[in-house]
Amino acid sequence: MSFSESIKTCLTKKYFNFSGRASRSEFWFFYLFILIGYIICFTLIIAISFELFWLMGVFMLGIIIPGLAVTARRLHDINKSGWFQLLPYPAGILERIFASSSESLEILFLIIGLGLYIYLFILYCTGGDKKNNRFGKNIYVKTKKRKK
């Protein structure tokens, strides 16, 4: 999937679609689009005026749902639940809770959270199932034509 196809798919066709599968190219191109959007917003805010900060807020609100959806579909492509993307959050919450009371527990939950983020990054980079899985057909594999 190309860069423009990925953006078109995530922002129009599958904006609220948490089911199905997303290829690595769809996922990574969409996150590249998000990164470019952040860079543009920060550049406008710094170069022109801090009054344009609302632009960053609008952009962030606009990409929350499709970002979560494409991540869930990416996890589905490797036969994992879309809920896996929330794995690091309990560790982050516990890290904040223990931030003022126990430094050793804060560091422990920080390390656990970082480990979970690394695990998710590895999952995002993993190739999808070649065959159909419980989340749908693999539409991204090119079929070989048989010789007669």
28 with 100, same domain: the answer is no
Q: Is residue 143 part of a domain?
A: no
Q: What is the pLDDT of residue 54?
A: 86
Residue 113 structural domain = 87-129
On the question of pLDDT at 146 being above 90, the answer is no
On the question of pLDDT at 59 being above 80, the answer is yes
Tell me how far CA of residue 11 lies from CA of 22, 27, 30, 60, 137, in angstroms: 13, 12, 9, 13, 22
Q: What is the pLDDT of residues 10-51, one digit of tens each?
A: 888 998 989 888 889 999 999 999 999 999 988 888 888 878
62 with 119, same domain: the answer is no
What gap in Å lies between CA 79 and CA 1, rounded to an integer? 20
Q: What is the pLDDT of residue 145?
A: 58
- Cβ atoms of 128 and 76 within 8 Å: the answer is no
Q: Considering its fold, how many domains does the chain have in total?
A: 2
Q: Write the CB contacts of 14 (distance below 8 Å, at least 6 apart in sequence).
A: 20, 66, 69, 70, 73
Q: What is the pLDDT of residues 113-140, one digit of tens each?
A: 999 999 999 999 988 888 878 887 877 6
Q: What are phi and psi of 106, to 5 degrees?
A: -60, -45
70 with 105, same domain: the answer is no
Per the confidence metrics, is the pTM higher than 0.95? no
41 with 22, same domain: the answer is yes
Q: What is the pLDDT of residue 68?
A: 94
* Mean pLDDT, range 80-105, rounded to an integer: 88
Q: What is the pLDDT of residues 97-111, one digit of tens each?
A: 888 888 888 889 899
Q: What is the pLDDT of residue 131?
A: 84
Q: Is residue 102 part of a domain?
A: yes
Q: Is residue 145 part of a domain?
A: no
